[in-house]
Structure 1
Amino acid sequence: MRIGILGLGRIGAFHAETLSGLDAVTSLVVADPVADAANAAAERFGAAVADSPEAMLAAGVDGVVIAAATDAHPGLIRAAVHAGVPVFCEKPVARTMAEGVTVLKDIDGSGVPVQIGYNRRFDAGFTAARDAVRAGELGILHTVRSTTLDPAPPPAGYVAASGGIFRDCSVHDFDIIRWVTGREVTEVYAVGGNRGADYIRAAGDADTTGAVLTLDDGTIAVVSNSRHNGRGYDVRMELHGFDDSLAVGLEDRLPLRSAEPGVSFPAGVPYDFFMDRFTAAYRAELTAFTEVVAGARPSPCTVADALEAGWIAEACTLSLHEHRPVRIDEVRLG
């Protein structure tokens, strides 16, 4: 199949490399407002270059991967869907939840599948954890802990346009908590602080946050995030039930050291960033998209799924600023 890629920045180029190695993908078409980025990708992967999204869609692609800037997501999703071309789009659906809801309404009933990029759903550890929960191996869940710690903060320009740490970073934790447990979040309470980069504080954001989520069956989920973790990129989940407990990310490349005498675990080189931590997951995610394009499976992460994680991020952002618990129903639109 012929796959188009819109946006050839860091993640777009990474996706181009992944797609070029998939058996189902016979050729690529690339487009980027920066001609040098598109030409470099074309030379590296033997791709054709389209001079605009419209030209790409007219070139007969079977599916399109959107890795462009967030502001472009809604228009590109609509254009592909209206052209009848299946879409993979990196999160978020749109910069604001209101616009995301509009996108959902615009494409509803089109019959064209749209997959939003939440790569943890394709990680082997998180998949095994979901299977264990759904099989009842842990018994009744009482506590979930989810962690995402970046090794260093992103640039000031990125932070200013990110929408805040809950919408940009924590949203991955929110999505994977929903996906693994199969439950919905009803209420949140969030706190945050700034111990590092002044530009994060200047943007009205926090560099370190904690959130307590109450799930609809009474399970408590604790989410911890930070832009500063000098030892490496740390993504983990713990699930504690009445019968058993399970951890994702408890392996030799975990960026943590033990203070216990004689303990050498973890002994591996810590993960540097998300692309080495989730290389296999990204490959599985895009493989799933080729199956969506082929009509062999439905979208494994729909626009509606992505918006559910977004509502949790909205509630946490409000909770942080107003120093109070916030129910999801308070922020949900439509």
Structure 2
Amino acid sequence: MRLGLAGTGRIGTAHAETLKGFDGVSSVVVADVDAVRAQATAAKLGVEAASGISELFGAGLDALVVTAATDAHPDLIMKAVDAGLPVFCEKPVAADITGTLAVIDHIAGSPVPVQIGFQRRFDAGYQAARAAVTSGELGWLHTVRATTLDPEPPPAAYVPHSGGLFRDCGVHDFDIVRWVTGREVVSAYAVGANRGEQFFVEAGDVDTAAVLLTLDDGTLATVSLTRYNGAGYDVRFEALGSRSGVVVGLDDRSPLHSVEPGVTPLPGPAYPGFMERFRPAYAAELAAFLDVAAGRAPSPAGAEDALEAFYIAEACELSRREGRPVEVREVRR
């Protein structure tokens, strides 16, 4: 299989390195709006480089992986589908709901598969939690807790174009709440705070947030988000039921320190970021895409899944701004 990859930033470079090592991948061709960066990445990894993104589509590809900037996602997804190329795209599908719906409308009815990058679905811990919920091992769920706590904020220039904390960061938690529980979110109540850099305020964003979600069966889910978790990258998920409970992300590298006497500290070191925490999940996700591209499996996370997570993020943002609970149906289009 000959794969194309559009976007040679940090995650694109990591994906290209992973893809070239898979059995069944004969070649990888990378491209970027910065042709010099693409050439440097190709030389570093020992893969091919196209002279530009447009030229990538003429490189005799069997499938495309999109890791470019968000504003390029819609056009690349639609162009790939129109060309008959199965496409994997990092989240989000587009920068907003309108753009996401436009992509969904464009590709509707096409047999060409699209997979959106929600790597937590491929993490062994989240998969085990989903199995525990599905099997009935936990009984009925009463509480779900999810956290995404970044160790430090992104660059100031990134924030105004990020979509905000809920759309950029929390969307992974919203997707995984849906996926693990098998339920839909019906309402959201969100609050936010700014305790750090002023550039979050200037962008109309927050650096820390707390969310209460109500699922369609009455289960309550809380989501905690921050850009300032100095102890390290902390992503956890708890599913608590009438019979038992499980936790994802509590391991030797969790950035937590118990102050109870006699408790042995976790050995660490803490995960510095998402790439280190989810490296095996990213590889599993791309391996799944090869099966999708080869017609051996359906897409495990389509554009519609991205839209549902985006709706929840939109409800959270509206709730934060208006100071009230928001039903997800209020933001549906």
Q: How many residues align?
A: 333
Runs (5+) with no aligned partner, structure 2: none
TM-score in terms of structure 2 length:
0.99
* Equivalence for 1:3: 3
Deviation at 1:51, TM superposition (A): 2.0
* Equivalence for 2:118: 118
For 2:124 and 2:329, locate their aligned partners in 1 and report how far apart those are by CA, in whole Å. 33
Contact 1:252 1:265 in 2 (8 A): no
User: For residues 180-204 of structure 1, what are the alpha-carbon distances to aligned partners after superposition, in whole Å with 9 as ceiling and x for unaligned?
Assistant: 0000000000001001111111111
For 1:40 and 1:285, locate their aligned partners in 2 and report how far apart those are by CA, in whole Å. 25
For 2:118 and 2:32, locate their aligned partners in 1 and report how far apart those are by CA, in whole Å. 22
Deviation at 1:24, TM superposition (A): 2.5
Q: Is 1:98 aligned to residue 98 of structure 2?
A: yes
Equivalent position SS for 1:189: strand
* Equivalence for 2:74: 74
TM-score in terms of structure 1 length:
0.98
Percent of aligned positions with the same letter in both sequences? 59
For 2:79 and 2:138, locate their aligned partners in 1 and report how far apart those are by CA, in whole Å. 44
Contact 2:33 2:53 in 1 (8 A): no
* Equivalence for 1:107: 107
Equivalent position SS for 1:138: coil
Q: Which amino acid aligns with 2:49?
A: V
* Equivalence for 1:195: 195
Equivalent position SS for 1:18: helix
User: For residues 127-180 of structure 1, what are the alpha-carbon distances to aligned partners after superposition, in whole Å with 9 as ceiling and x for unaligned?
Assistant: 000011011100000000000000000001111100100000000000000000
Runs (5+) with no aligned partner, structure 1: none
* Equivalence for 1:242: 242
* Equivalence for 1:57: 57
Bigger Cα displacement from structure 2, 105-114 vs 11-20: 11-20
Equivalent position SS for 1:157: coil
* Equivalence for 2:31: 31
For 2:288 and 2:94, locate their aligned partners in 1 and report how far apart those are by CA, in whole Å. 22
For 1:5 and 1:80, locate their aligned partners in 2 and report how far apart those are by CA, in whole Å. 11
Deviation at 1:46, TM superposition (A): 2.1
Contact 1:255 1:270 in 2 (8 A): yes
* Equivalence for 1:269: 269
Q: Which amino acid aligns with 1:188?
A: A
Equivalent position SS for 1:230: coil
Q: Which amino acid aligns with 2:300?
A: P
For 1:260 and 1:13, locate their aligned partners in 2 and report how far apart those are by CA, in whole Å. 42
Contact 1:53 1:76 in 2 (8 A): no
Contact 1:28 1:46 in 2 (8 A): no
Contact 1:187 1:326 in 2 (8 A): yes
For 1:300 and 1:144, locate their aligned partners in 2 and report how far apart those are by CA, in whole Å. 23
Contact 1:31 1:53 in 2 (8 A): yes
User: For residues 204-224 of structure 1, what are the alpha-carbon distances to aligned partners after superposition, in whole Å with 9 as ceiling and x for unaligned?
Assistant: 111000000000000000000
* Equivalence for 1:252: 252
Bigger Cα displacement from structure 2, 263-272 vs 75-84: 263-272
For 1:247 and 1:224, locate their aligned partners in 2 and report how far apart those are by CA, in whole Å. 15
Bigger Cα displacement from structure 2, 33-42 vs 43-52: 43-52
Q: Which amino acid aligns with 1:246?
A: V
Deviation at 1:60, TM superposition (A): 1.3
For 2:108 and 2:60, locate their aligned partners in 1 and report how far apart those are by CA, in whole Å. 23
For 2:279 and 2:242, locate their aligned partners in 1 and report how far apart those are by CA, in whole Å. 33
Deviation at 1:265, TM superposition (A): 3.6
For 2:260 and 2:71, locate their aligned partners in 1 and report how far apart those are by CA, in whole Å. 48
Contact 1:138 1:244 in 2 (8 A): yes
Equivalent position SS for 2:173: helix
Q: Which amino acid aligns with 1:40?
A: A
Q: Which amino acid aligns with 1:104?
A: I
Deviation at 1:55, TM superposition (A): 2.0
Contact 1:193 1:208 in 2 (8 A): yes
* Equivalence for 2:210: 210
For 1:268 and 1:20, locate their aligned partners in 2 and report how far apart those are by CA, in whole Å. 31
* Equivalence for 2:327: 327
For 2:57 and 2:112, locate their aligned partners in 1 and report how far apart those are by CA, in whole Å. 14
